[in-house]
Amino acid sequence: MKINAITCLVFLLLSFRLSSAQILIGPVAGGQYSWISFDDKENKDFYKVKPVAGFHAGVGLSFLVRKRFFLHTAFLYSTKGKIIEGKEDKLLDNKVTYHYIDIPILYTVDFKGRIGHSKEFKYFLGAGPNLSYWLGGKGKFTNTDLSESIKPERSYTIVFNKKPEDTEEDEMTVEDPTRIQLGLNLAAGIIFEPFGYQKFMFSVRYELGHSFFSRTSNGIFRDTYYQDVLRSRNQGFRISLAYLVDLHTADRKKGKSTINRKRL
C-alpha cells in the first residue's frame, strides 16, 4: 500500500515538471454523498447500507500537460460516512462520519461546446487515482444490547491501534487500520474562462474505493456484541466548484509593462 502511494506521488511530481508551462491554483469546495460496499456480499443479508451527506474543501491545482490535456489535483479535507441498519437486529442503527485528507488526481481532456449561436464553453472528461489518508471519525449507534441500558444510544470516537480490552465506553477501536487508502476517480465537468487566465470549474466525480478500512480487523466496541465490519470500501459522488488563477499572469503583465516603458 505504501509503495502504491509513493508511486502516485512520484507520478504527480513528474507530471508537474511536464506541465510547468501553465499552472493554475485556487480554492475548491463542494458536497458529496458517500456510502460503503462490503467485500463479503453475505453481509448484505445482515445489514442495510444507506448513504451519508458530507463536504470537502481545500486547494486545487491544474497543470497543462499538452494542448487540451490537463492534470488536475487538489488537497482536500473531506467528510465521508455511512449508515448501517440491522436486518436481524431491528434495533441496530450505526451512523458514522469519517474524516479524511483526500488527494484526487485527474487526467482530463477538454472539449468545446456552444450555447446558442455565440457563447462558447469547455467541458471535460477524466479519470485517475484517489489517494486518501484516514484521520479518524465519530459516530452514534444503538442495538438490542444497548436498548436495555441507561444510555440506549452511544456516541463514540474512532481510535486506532488500541487493544479491545483497553477501549473506553465512548470509543470504537480499529487494531489494524488502513490509514492510507487508494481509489479510482471518474469525472466530468464544465469550464468557464471569463478572462483567459481564470477558470471556474464545475465538476461531478464518482469515487470507487479500492482499499479496505481494514483487511484483518473489525471496529470493536466495549460491552456489546456488535462489531463494525471494516473489510469494506468507500464509494460516493462528489460535486465541486473550483476557482483557479494562472500563476504566470504576473510574469506576463511584467513583460507588457516593460515593453510599454521602452516605447515611451
pLDDT, tens only, 215-258: 999 999 988 889 999 999 999 999 999 999 988 755 555 444 44
Spell out the residues 6+ positions from residue 92 whose beta carbon is closer than 8 angstroms to its own: 47, 84, 85, 86, 141, 142, 143, 144, 226
In this structure, how many other beta carbons lie within 10 angstroms of the beta carbon of residue 49? 16
Question: What's the number of domains the chain is made of?
Answer: 1
C-alpha–C-alpha distance, residues 139 and 100, integer Å:
15
Residue 186 clears pLDDT 70, i.e. is over it: yes
Domain assignment of residue 31, yes or no: yes
Nearest by Cα to 171 from 132, 134, 213, 137: 137
pLDDT at 3: 46
| pLDDT > 90: percent of the chain | 69
Collapsing DSSP to helix, strand or coil, 261 comes out as helix
- This prediction's pTM: 0.84
Domain assignment of residue 98, yes or no: yes
Find the mean pLDDT for residues 149-172. Answer: 91
pLDDT at 117: 67
> What is the average pLDDT score of the chain?
86
Judged by average pLDDT, the poorest of 13-17, 26-30, 45-49, 145-149 is 13-17
C-alpha cell at 125: 472528461
Domain assignment of residue 146, yes or no: yes
Domain assignment of residue 7, yes or no: yes
Q: Domain of 65?
A: 2-243
Higher pLDDT residue, 182 or 3? Answer: 182
Domain assignment of residue 253, yes or no: no
Higher pLDDT residue, 106 or 6? Answer: 106
C-alpha–C-alpha distance, residues 192 and 199, integer Å:
6
Find the mean pLDDT for residues 181-205. Answer: 90
Domain assignment of residue 122, yes or no: yes
C-alpha–C-alpha distance, residues 85 and 35, integer Å:
13
| pLDDT > 70: percent of the chain | 84
